[in-house]
Structure 1
Amino acid sequence: MDFLAGDGEMATMIREKDWSAHSFGRTEDWPQSLRSALAICLNSAFPTAIYWGSELRLLYNDAWAPIPGPRHPGALGAPAKEVWSDIWSIIEPQFSEVIRSGKGLFLQDHMLPMQRYGFEEETYWSYSFTPLRGEQGNIVGVWNTGSETTANVIQRRNAEFQVKLNEALRGAVTAQDGLRLALERLGLHLSAAHVGIAKPRAAGDGFDIAQQWRAPQSGVPSEETLAAIGPRAEAELRAGKDLFLTRRAADLEPESRAYLEARRISNAIFVPWIEGGRLDQAIFLHWSRPRAQSVLDMSLVERVLDLVMGWIARERTHAREAVMAQEIDHRARNMLAILRSTSRLIKAETVAEFREKLDERITSLSRTHGLLSRKKWVDVTLREVVDEEFASYGGDIHARIDLGGPAVPLEPNDAQMIAMLIHELTTNAVKHGALRDAEGRLSLTWSLDGDGALLLRWEEHLADGVRPAPAEPHEGFGTQLLTRIARDHFGGSIRRETAETGLLYEIALPRGSWSTRSATPQPDADTTNGATDARRSVMIVEDEPIIALDLVGMMEHAGYAIFGQFASVSAGLENTAGRLPDIALLDENLGGETSTPLLDHLVAKGVPVVIISGYDGEVRTGVPRLSKPISESELLAIISSL
């Protein structure tokens, strides 16, 4: 019995099995040819089996034992036709040919649709059949060696799939086109009935389907949402774990089972996409037919998800870059227009005085821009803007300034406007008011009233015995700018009071959507196109107060009347409902809002319009377009022709 020596599982099992009632008979009576073949088989480290006798009954070693799956150990001594009933139609002709011809057979990566676990699997094998001869020289059995190559075949096939998918995606026009293509091809490749991208709702509330593909004739119902998949399953998914659900699982939670049964599906997998530490979305696949859990399936789905999300991220990045480039160009043009308008509006007796005033205002704009840049153009507060404006002054002035008020968030455009307002007040206080003297004090406080308006109180206190210095003329640039910012940009009001003890400003800025707030026009009596004014009227729609002030100056200098100056679409529409200007100068972008509705309204009413913009937009027939900063001579020439 040396041929059964050894401590392996199969050697032990064969020794202990009672073969007396078996067709092989007692092991002591087995022929020498079988003994020799079995001794080699049991001591081989390679998967090896012997099919012996007319029924090709099975004997095999430890390495071969996992191949039949749960059919082991019942396969020991059983006929091949019973053990391999699911693939007998494929391998029976192979056995017959080996026995008939007496020649061996080798097959590589051969597909065998096995049903080892109660459902059909796509398996691949490389194996050989070799005839075994008995003592009389006749063929009495078949020697079988081989191993499963399913993983290798699927890995190679998945790699080819990814290459072809990448090639196909390069022709996609948009990321959404690419996503649709990827879902369809993934579904076809994995024989899924339903594939999609799902975005989670609140915990336990299911998912919204963002994109999906259904196999033709799959019978999968059309749906825009997915029901909850079960608290335990959802928790794993939200934790970033891949999820495999199968109706065959004994420990499947009731909600997960109900999810599968309601959709008449046997299996489902979910692969999460995590952003910022939370579940952003997940790719899901449903199968109507049973399917084994496969790490190769999960790996492929993960790679496809990474691929399509990478495409989407790149498209978003390109879109952001395009918007950013456009916004940078717009801001640069606007800044140039502001600087040009500032230089045009400054009144000075000498070059040195002009240079000083221009330098001060450019420096103020630069400080505010630096603050916004450091804050990445978000989350800027009024206190930060005020502190930035006072930062350039020495400690002796800081000690004489009292500041106080709640945290008030500002949008970038409003922050720039308020910075200009504070700069003009501060410059005037340093040159003419309380801060020019070492004993003077300044109090700046702000609050929000019951209607949500921002109230600024600027109060200067002169030192005892100090008389107020001559202030800037009422029609000076600084005074005009203060009025324009408070009244035209924010739709608010400004009150100025001069006393022996100092200067008081009370400024009210209505709270709301700051950058798109409708400005209430308050044109002076002698600048409207009323019955007493025969001049042609010009409507100015511009949300940058300095640029608007410059345009007003240009038009008045050229002999035009000002119909009104407005900072929003709604204000423009409201104030042209009853009467119309002779011509309109229209900024294309008003605090992030397109002015197209106002443009269409004016054109429909027959009002000639000149678009003035920091963007390179589309050209409209019959509507001239000027890019900021504009040329006065070019603007006047266009207005004259219109």
Structure 2
Amino acid sequence: MVISSPVAVPASSRMAEIIRRHDWAASPLGPIEAWPDRLRFALEICLRTSSPSAVYWGPDFILLHNDAFGAWLGLPEPRLLGQPAQQAYGELWDWLSPQFQAVMESGQGLSVAEQIIPVARDGVIEERYWTYTLSPLTDETGAVAGILSQREEVTRAVLAERRLSFQIRLADALRGETDPQRVKQVATALLGEHLGASRVGYAEVDEARQVASVRSDWTRDGSTSLAGQHAPLSSFGSEALGALRSGEVLVLPDLGSLPAASPELVAAWNAMGVRALITVPLVRDGALRALLYVHEPEPRAWRRSDAAIARDVAERTWAAVERAQAERSLRESEDHYRHTVELNPQVTWTATPDGALNRVARRWEEWTGTTGLGDSWAEGIHPEDVPASFAAWRHSLETGDVYDIEHRLKLRDGSFRWARSRAFPRHGKDGAILLWYGSTEDIHERKVAEEHQRLLINELNHRVKNTLASVQAIAFQTLKGDVSLAEARARFEARLLALSRAHNLLTERNWEGAGLERIVRDATEHLAGDTSRFELRGEGELSLRPRAALALALALHELVTNAAKYGARSSERGRVSIAWREEQGTLLLEWKETGGPEVNAPERRGFGSRLIERGLAPDLAGRADLDFEPDGLRCTIRASVEAVRAADLA
């Protein structure tokens, strides 16, 4: 039977036309006109499927596939078409073959979840994860003659789950650690094992001496430690050092391929066993304080998730280190305070067993203008605190308990300061009190600090509530509608990370504001990875208030994500232009996509569109317009400069 059109699929299917024109006469399948109806029917299903799908026919499993399968392989031409599966898959066939044979022999389908399948793209092997099915195809006799395979990439979900699991492990490992050095050791070991790195460590930076010093690091078996070494900051190169001082993460897959790197600099790094690296800076109060580094002795194609997890570990570890240092400092301070008060008090005094002061250090008179002898010490205390002080002193005299009370001193000039008075009894052999030894210490600064701390806690509570409100809104909108759990989880995590990065930018300036250009660059670099397809043009440097900075960061996240899925960044020729300027008190920021798929206005607006068009207006005291132009999305944001400008941080 002669079939004039053996493959009935839409004209847009590139693979259908290629299959029609392919010379099948010399292949095990024979001329296309003679193919079995079952094979042609299975192939039509394959070609009409949007997910990567393939048909394997005959004892050699001759490969036929659709356009999406070719895109998954990253091949510009269908080089594997018509090849036996063993030849097409190479080394992968060693573990794929038993799966195919099991389906052929049993006649039952097989489903495989989250299987790692390396894919070569641009000469780099990428780690990808897939969930796929193998379904038997029968011939006219009912015997299994082939297999239909359909797959879905789940790399993002797998990596997100791994990252969350790692973060939980890290948090559990750091919990309870009070030694700052031990905190670093635990974190670097976990990160090194997670990334399969050669060396991970922390370097403390001394800007005054212009050196970075390593106390200890984690190394894989056979790798050389940098512990005890000191490297000049100039060894990073001026460009890289400038990026680190600005808080940017340095990710280099191959130092030898850098066009601007000097041979001497590359040789120096090679001597330390470094060819590829990730370096995360710690910037506090505008100064570079420390570096987290991940080193490899050979070139390595870092994933964006590698740099992200390194940055996350750095931030979590530094927070744990600062907490441990604060706790240690507090313990040392309390110990010092105890010895100072008990052994070297500011004012020492003694009292007889009946409570009368018989000796008082001269400084008491310098403070209050009274001698303090007898009961005259009450004249140097705030009138409101005298009753409580007398009551506590009477209780100590009657029971022998330590006298310890805080009260306000009345100074010579009429002002008041907080003080702490303590007294300890010395007993005779018969247990009777012989003498009281006391001291009074000025604690005014501490009391003021406690009040300041209370105000800070109230402010922190306010910020936490606002953050939780933002997270609640993101969660509600992300989970709203008909969306799969995996997609919702991926969207939710991405939006939380965007919110987190915006918080990081604000933290660098003590939540007083964040630079507009830094917000734009942070969004494009962390979400897009390849920034060569972004054109940024800004006039002047503008610092935004925290509320405006957070709103703009989330809006840019939605724009970049949308561009990657549906807009300019979904096409190899796509480009995005982001420009901003001030015009007569108005900040004008324009996002324009070109070179991507033809744009049509959506029938309904999603969370991202609503966030941009409605959410930005109150936070920026302006408006945002989305124009779905045929050649690419245009987003125009107008904001009142007076409303969004942060206070001068100079």
TM-score (norm 2): 0.49
Point out the structure with max Rg over C-alpha.
1
User: In proportion to residue count, which structure has more helix?
Assistant: 2
TM-score (norm 1): 0.49
